[in-house]
Amino acid sequence: MSGSPVALCIDLEATCWKGPPPKDQHSDIIEIGYTFVTLGNHPAVGDTGSLLVRPQRSHVSAFCTELTSITPAMVLEAPSLLEVCHGIQESLGSATLPWFSWGNYDRKMLQQCCKELGVPYPMGEAHFNMKTLYRLLLGMRKELGLQAAAAKEGVVYVGPPHRGYADAHVLAKIVCHVLGGGGR
């Protein structure tokens, strides 16, 4: 498969609360999960990883831990968003690769956090909203959530849902199924 184009599948997790954020807290990215995908005639899932991010404007709530399994202790000594964004550009080549996310939340959240915190945006311009592409390519009337699409495609999670690495891996498998013509 050498010479085949490569893309990234990205999934973010962020601080969250059962209701609106408490006063003086803003949603911060706490995990960037990624999986490489080799595109072409036979798409294939590549390496998967996760980078935890220390929140700068909020704390990991009990609700957030319940949803993501990410605890306050896990991100306490994690690198800042600036360090992580620099790292993914250097080690993953994120600025030069096309990338997929499930919906536009991840792209918008990353853009917003980078802007608000003065961090250079680490991703390239070639972004694909797989949630919408999936609906269009399968001729569906409504978009599905990632877990529902995974169930429809017979894709099994490699970790808990709502963890960046697990969601990015599932996204990559769905990309391969859809672009490779499998999974139906």
* Residue 1 is assigned to a structural domain of this protein: no
44 within some domain: yes
Instruction: Please name the residue ranges forming H helices in 93-163.
Output: 105-117, 130-137, 146-153
Digits of tens for pLDDT over the chain (184 positions)? Answer: 457 789 999 999 999 999 999 999 999 999 999 999 999 888 999 999 999 999 999 999 999 999 999 999 999 999 999 999 999 999 999 999 999 999 999 999 999 999 999 999 999 999 999 999 999 999 999 999 999 999 999 999 989 999 999 999 999 999 999 988 653 3
Enter the tokens of residue 116: 């608000």
- Considering the domain boundaries, does residue 146 fall inside one? yes
Tally Cβ neighbours within 10 Å of residue 16.
18
Query: What's the pLDDT at 182?
Result: 53
Total structural domains within the chain: 1
How many CB atoms sit inside 10 A of residue 80's CB?
14
Query: What pTM was computed for the model?
Result: 0.94
Q: Cα 122–171–131 angle (5° rounding)?
A: 90
Write the CATH number for 38.
3.30.420.10
Element (H, E) at 173: helix 164-180
Question: What residue numbers bound the domain in which 118 lies?
Answer: 6-180
